Amino acid sequence: MEIINLGDDDGLPAVDWAVIVAKLDAGSAPAPDALNARTTWLSTVNEDGSPHVTAVGALWMDGAFWFQTGMRTRKGRNVVRDPRCALSVSIRDADVVIEGQAVRVTESGALARIAKAWADNGWPAEPDQSGTGISAPFNAPAQGPPPWNVYRIEPRSATAVSSAEPGGLTRFRF
């Protein structure tokens, strides 16, 4: 991993990636009293090259972010055409941006694990009978009918901004 301390000129230490991962693994909320208040923002590339940003119910699992979407949504169409994307999230004492490629997940074991993780977090997802996506009694508006496709974003790079003393701004390339 390459570590670039973007706060070096300001005398700030590099952010410790292991600390960031531990907070992501723990499902850290932005503040101690902000349980389940964490919003993740997915950025994809529109056909004309402009950005498309939308909130998603992404989960961090196995060192990657996972999200789901309907086949006809803009983000769904965008990642099929151009899988480059970024996902942004606030965690305790830091803001994190993960950049990578959205890879569709169709392996039944992986779908079962992520569906269980979503169910354990309050959204009753389960693998769809087709075996290629997930289903649930409800989803966010405009997702279309199930099954919904699942995507995994393995970090290619990340930027972390620490808001805890002494602060820090670091870019990681994996």
Q: What is the pLDDT of residue 9?
A: 92
- Maximal C-alpha separation, the chain: 55
CB 30 within 8 A of CB 161: no
How does pLDDT run across 43-66, given as a tens digit for each residue? Answer: 999 999 999 999 998 999 999 999
What's the pTM? 0.91
Q: Is the pLDDT of residue 147 over 80?
A: yes
Q: What is the pLDDT of residue 88?
A: 97
Q: How far apart are CA 173 and CA 156, in angstroms?
A: 6
By mean pLDDT, which of 28-42, 47-61, 137-151, 155-169 is the weakest? 28-42
Instruction: Write the DSSP assignment of 84-134 as a string of letters.
Output: EEEEEEEETTEEEEEEEEEEEE--HHHHHHHHHHHHHTT---EE-TTSSSE
Domain-wise residue ranges, the chain: 2-173
Q: What is the mean pLDDT of residues 24-30?
A: 85
Q: What is the pLDDT of residue 141?
A: 85
Q: Which CATH superfamily is domain 2-173 in?
A: Electron Transport, Fmn-binding Protein; Chain A (2.30.110.10)
How does pLDDT run across 79-130, given as a tens digit for each residue? Answer: 999 999 999 999 989 999 999 999 999 999 999 999 999 999 899 999 999 8
Handedness of CA 156, 99, 23, 70 (dihedral sign): negative
Three-class SS of 120-145: HCCCCCEECCCCCCEECCCCCCCCCC
